[in-house]
Chain A
């Protein structure tokens, strides 16, 4: 089986394969242009007669659960990343598979982390065929060097839900590590020593996988309340000593940036939103957990306080800052996709206005709407942006695959998408003629704010008109690019081969770009 075949030019001008790891693929056709037909994928029909009537689905250990689930060559095994760098279960799954001599597995995590570097040896010995999910750190490097047997596929959080729902990826066994669960399989993320807030990334897996295993170190008598994962979808439950390493799951503190340059970018971004008329009573925003995004939240919160108004909702990976706003009455709801600190977990446990969401509710493109389009402003990051406002979040300018897409692509659908970024990092300009990898098409990216000026996408004539007499430093994106190159010099091109090592999916399952192998 070839890793990929039959390249074709897609709607953003990139050559992408129409066949990957033996499966047919659709090239990106433009935003909103690919409309699927047919019905969703469905798991097998089960009968409760095959499950214990007392609800006790406990098996002695993970190995037995995997054997009972029918683990065999070529299967697709999924995990979630709510435990971030404190995950221990993914490594155990493949230790077991290796021990059993199972080969050619497809690992389908919602994201991978440096703690899973351990799996490189299984990629090398053929236990794992390839990864479909974000690859950072050592795994990203491994993939970038073309060492993976299959082609990597990266999806957004929403795109992963879509792929599972549509049957693009059929999960054979989903292993859901849960901070708290009962023997029936009901599970949540708010209680237990490994509390991570919520389990939304595992929702699709629980709904669509053939076999579902819930693993916990905090087994409570039925019912486990709240039950974000429904036991009715679960085949086996397993009790282990430790399901995750708490201090690596949650950072005890999240800090706003101390960098004066980043604070300046945050301040300019908040000012821009205010002048654009976005910050008003009942508005909503999406902000990440990065230092710059957090600081923008602080500026928003100051404006709200000063004017005695409040936001309707924050779509977020939450931490103590949005929580503070919620508890001070500056916002009605936090619609939380993943929780980054202990305050976030506490708030989700205690505050009725702190709501757990999932990639289904927030992002799924093949649904009857989703939350992302209703957000007034999304403030996101990028590793590179080009003069056509296309942006990259997965590779660095040297070509290495180092980040996942996360919910980034999905959030581009907000009413106004702003990327606050430094004009250059160390000596590397962020604005380029052409991004290394297109993750988001320029038509969805409205504004770039940098410490040396703000560029508005020419498509947003309304914003350009509004900012005609603004005191903010409005420049064209070409001007910003020239300014960066004047300071840094023009960088040479990354040394990339023609060989493709990974594909980047758009939110509708089409292929928007590929990642090339890095030459040494």
Chain B
């Protein structure tokens, strides 16, 4: 094993405003055994268990002599372990990974066409935001390794994201990670694919070959670990070239389930400014919706970045839905409910869908081949859409699952 002696490696975060994180300084020494120093706001209650964990990890990597200082602000074990391992791997070369349990709560899968109204972005190196993200019920949670992580923190963020995928309960949300731009993003995959990530967001996507590169690497990892399940992809279009190539990208592979637009970078690429009216991005958004519909996948809109403006967000969602989008990103948990409420079918849509579904049920009971509402014939695709609307309304709590009993009682 190659070891770097005498160099002090620091990982993690500390200081004012930092919570649920820890800062680790590690130095490998020639002799003197393991010297652990712990400063922690929860020392009385968890000091012994933190020190045990540190010893276990050092032992796992066969480190016999080291000085380690842990400055803890109430970090959970998955964070402490990630910080220590990230520091160790700057100092020794090894293929070993210190993997904590992949908790049973996280062993679910998601469907290709599951609801993706909302996906909550979380900075990949900020564990405090990850712990409670799932309780806000977004459709997806994105652990972001790209723009929200500073260049010199990319290494340690991968360990946090990997450990979060294993240890943090996502409460049923789709488990997503935004990897770095290709080709750098390919290096991220080793930290994600074995840990039941459901979907990868591929930023600044401009060609189908980027999708192919990702899929090749995924196949390789899956093969080596005997993983069978699908990993979904959501390329993000963030440039003029990407917009022009949207159809090819959407059509690049079977596991591309959605295509998203990132308007900050796109506006910059156009040489214009992003406005609330969004006329500058009308073409791009329409292009994206058409590319998605042409290939049978979901078109997903950009984030609305003013977290204090809930009315602005609502208008944005309504516009987005009118353009044909199926969902959008969010950067604050309070945006989730508004996004769900407004992407969801409204009262008029639900009422109409109920009438159609009841007409369909009655027609079926009577053995009629044709469904009609009043004097109007209803085509099968319309019935199917009405059924989807009803299912959606039920899943969003806008309609009782026994609605039909109430309706027929009346």
The winner among A427, A428, A487, A488 for most chain B CB atoms within 10 A is: A427
Partner of B334, one of A260, A487, A494: A260
Q: Give the residues from 71 to 91 in chain B that come closer than 8 angstroms, CB to CB, to chain A.
A: 73-77
Partner of A491, one of B46, B76, B132: B46
Closest-CB distance, B173 to chain A (whole angstroms): 15
CB atoms of A488 and B76 under 8 A apart: yes
Closest-CB distance, A156 to chain B (whole angstroms): 27
Q: Give B47's nearest chain A residue, CB to CB.
A: A492
Given contacts A427-B20, A495-B44, contact A489 B49 (CB under 8 A): yes
Closest-CB distance, B124 to chain A (whole angstroms): 19
Q: Give A519's nearest chain B residue, CB to CB.
A: B44
CB atoms of A487 and B46 under 8 A apart: no
Given contacts A260-B333, A260-B334, A487-B76, contact A427 B46 (CB under 8 A): yes
Q: Give B168's nearest chain A residue, CB to CB.
A: A487
CB atoms of A491 and B45 under 8 A apart: yes
CB atoms of B135 and A398 under 8 A apart: no
CB atoms of A427 and B334 under 8 A apart: no
The winner among A260, A399, A487, A495 for most chain B CB atoms within 10 A is: A260
Q: Which residues of A contact B132 (CB under 8 A)?
A: 260-261, 451
CB atoms of B74 and A264 under 8 A apart: no
Asked whether A426 is an interface residue with its Cβ less than 8 Å from the other chain, the reply is yes
Q: Give the residues from 47 to 72 in chain B that come closer than 8 angstroms, CB to CB, to chain A.
A: 47-49
Asked whether B136 is an interface residue with its Cβ less than 8 Å from the other chain, the reply is yes
Given contacts A263-B334, A494-B45, contact A451 B75 (CB under 8 A): no
Q: Give A425's nearest chain B residue, CB to CB.
A: B74
Asked whether A121 is an interface residue with its Cβ less than 8 Å from the other chain, the reply is no
Asked whether B274 is an interface residue with its Cβ less than 8 Å from the other chain, the reply is no
Partner of B77, one of A261, A397, A425, A489: A489
Number of interface residues of B (CB under 8 A): 24
Asked whether B19 is an interface residue with its Cβ less than 8 Å from the other chain, the reply is yes
Closest-CB distance, B395 to chain A (whole angstroms): 13
Asked whether B154 is an interface residue with its Cβ less than 8 Å from the other chain, the reply is no
Asked whether B399 is an interface residue with its Cβ less than 8 Å from the other chain, the reply is no
Closest-CB distance, A492 to chain B (whole angstroms): 5
CB atoms of B397 and A427 under 8 A apart: no
Q: How far is the CA of A260 from the CA of B131 in the complex (A)?
A: 12
Asked whether A307 is an interface residue with its Cβ less than 8 Å from the other chain, the reply is no
Q: How far is the CA of A494 from the CA of B45 in the complex (A)?
A: 6
Partner of A426, one of B20, B49, B333: B20
CB atoms of B20 and A264 under 8 A apart: no
Q: Would you give the 0/1 interface string for A101-144, flagging 1 where the beta carbon is closer than 8 Å to chain B?
A: 00000000000000000000000000000000000000000000
Asked whether B42 is an interface residue with its Cβ less than 8 Å from the other chain, the reply is yes
Closest-CB distance, A435 to chain B (whole angstroms): 14
Q: How far is the CA of A492 from the CA of B136 in the complex (A)?
A: 30
CB atoms of B44 and A427 under 8 A apart: no
Asked whether A471 is an interface residue with its Cβ less than 8 Å from the other chain, the reply is yes
CB atoms of B45 and A398 under 8 A apart: yes
Asked whether A452 is an interface residue with its Cβ less than 8 Å from the other chain, the reply is yes
Asked whether B41 is an interface residue with its Cβ less than 8 Å from the other chain, the reply is yes
Closest-CB distance, B40 to chain A (whole angstroms): 9
Q: Give B40's nearest chain A residue, CB to CB.
A: A427
Q: Give the residues from 304 to 337 in chain B that come closer than 8 angstroms, CB to CB, to chain A.
A: 332-334
Q: Which residues of B contact A487 (CB under 8 A)?
A: 76, 131, 169
Closest-CB distance, B334 to chain A (whole angstroms): 5
Q: Would you give the 0/1 interface string for A385-402, flagging 1 where the beta carbon is closer than 8 Å to chain B?
A: 000000000000111000
Closest-CB distance, B12 to chain A (whole angstroms): 15
Closest-CB distance, A495 to chain B (whole angstroms): 6
Closest-CB distance, B67 to chain A (whole angstroms): 24
Partner of B135, one of A452, A489, A491, A494: A452
Q: Give A496's nearest chain B residue, CB to CB.
A: B44
CB atoms of B135 and A427 under 8 A apart: no
CB atoms of B76 and A427 under 8 A apart: yes
By secondary structure, the A interface counts as: loop
Closest-CB distance, B182 to chain A (whole angstroms): 32
Q: Which residues of B contact A425 (CB under 8 A)?
A: 74
CB atoms of B332 and A260 under 8 A apart: yes
Q: Would you give the 0/1 interface string for B130-173, flagging 1 where the beta carbon is closer than 8 Å to chain A?
A: 01100110000000000000000000000000000000010000
Q: Give A494's nearest chain B residue, CB to CB.
A: B44
Q: How far is the CA of A494 from the CA of B136 in the complex (A)?
A: 33
Q: Which residues of A contact B397 (CB under 8 A)?
A: 471
Q: Give the residues from 451 to 484 in chain A that come closer than 8 angstroms, CB to CB, to chain B.
A: 451-452, 471
Q: How far is the CA of A174 from the CA of B169 in the complex (A)?
A: 56
Q: How far is the CA of A452 from the CA of B171 in the complex (A)?
A: 10
Partner of A261, one of B44, B45, B135: B135
Q: How far is the CA of A162 from the CA of B73 in the complex (A)?
A: 41
Q: Which residues of B contact A491 (CB under 8 A)?
A: 42, 45-46
Q: Give B48's nearest chain A residue, CB to CB.
A: A492
The winner among A263, A399, A428, A471 for most chain B CB atoms within 10 A is: A428
Partner of A397, one of B19, B45, B76: B45
Q: How far is the CA of A487 from the CA of B77 in the complex (A)?
A: 9
CB atoms of A426 and B334 under 8 A apart: no
Q: Give the residues from 245 to 267 in chain A that come closer than 8 angstroms, CB to CB, to chain B.
A: 260-261, 263-264
Q: Which residues of A contact B46 (CB under 8 A)?
A: 427, 488-489, 491-492
Q: Would you give the 0/1 interface string for B157-193, flagging 1 where the beta carbon is closer than 8 Å to chain A?
A: 0000000000001000000000000000000000000
CB atoms of B136 and A260 under 8 A apart: yes
Closest-CB distance, B344 to chain A (whole angstroms): 16
The winner among B44, B49, B135 for most chain A CB atoms within 10 A is: B44
Closest-CB distance, A424 to chain B (whole angstroms): 9
Q: Which residues of A contact B77 (CB under 8 A)?
A: 489
CB atoms of A426 and B135 under 8 A apart: no
CB atoms of B74 and A427 under 8 A apart: yes
Q: Which residues of A contact B42 (CB under 8 A)?
A: 426-428, 491
Q: Would you give the 0/1 interface string for A417-434, flagging 1 where the beta carbon is closer than 8 Å to chain B?
A: 000000001111000000
Q: Which residues of B contact A471 (CB under 8 A)?
A: 397
Given contacts A260-B136, A261-B132, contact A428 B45 (CB under 8 A): yes
Q: Give the residues from 30 to 46 in chain B that come closer than 8 angstroms, CB to CB, to chain A.
A: 41-42, 44-46
Q: Which residues of B contact A428 (CB under 8 A)?
A: 42, 45, 74
Q: Which residues of A contact B332 (CB under 8 A)?
A: 260
Q: Which residues of A contact B45 (CB under 8 A)?
A: 397-398, 427-428, 491-492, 494
Q: Give the residues from 208 to 251 in chain B that come closer than 8 angstroms, CB to CB, to chain A.
A: none
CB atoms of B19 and A426 under 8 A apart: yes
Q: Which residues of A contact B19 (CB under 8 A)?
A: 426
Q: Which residues of A contact B334 (CB under 8 A)?
A: 260, 263
Q: How far is the CA of A426 from the CA of B77 in the complex (A)?
A: 12
The winner among A261, A425, A426, A451 for most chain B CB atoms within 10 A is: A426
Q: Would you give the 0/1 interface string for B1-35, flagging 1 where the beta carbon is closer than 8 Å to chain A?
A: 00000000000000000011000000000000000
Q: Which residues of B contact A452 (CB under 8 A)?
A: 135
Q: How far is the CA of A80 from the CA of B333 in the complex (A)?
A: 41
Closest-CB distance, B172 to chain A (whole angstroms): 13
Q: Which residues of A contact B44 (CB under 8 A)?
A: 397-399, 492, 494-495
Q: Give the residues from 485 to 514 in chain A that come closer than 8 angstroms, CB to CB, to chain B.
A: 487-489, 491-492, 494-495
Q: Give A260's nearest chain B residue, CB to CB.
A: B333
Q: Give B120's nearest chain A residue, CB to CB.
A: A260
Q: How far is the CA of A238 from the CA of B199 in the complex (A)?
A: 72
Partner of A264, one of B49, B73, B136: B136
Q: Which residues of B contact A451 (CB under 8 A)?
A: 132, 135
8 contacting pairs across A/B (C-beta < 8 A): A260-B334, A261-B135, A264-B333, A397-B45, A427-B46, A487-B131, A492-B49, A495-B44
Not counting A397-B44, A426-B73, a sample of 19 additional A-B residue pairs whose C-beta atoms are within 8 angstroms of each other reads A260-B332, A260-B333, A260-B334, A261-B132, A261-B333, A264-B135, A426-B42, A427-B74, A428-B74, A451-B132, A487-B76, A489-B77, A491-B42, A491-B45, A491-B46, A492-B47, A492-B49, A494-B44, A495-B44
Q: Which 9 A/B pairs are nearest by Cβ-Cβ distance? A: A426-B74, A491-B45, A260-B333, A398-B44, A427-B74, A261-B132, A427-B42, A451-B135, A492-B45
Residues in chain B within 8 A of chain A (CB atoms): 19-20, 41-42, 44-49, 73-77, 131-132, 135-136, 169, 332-334, 397
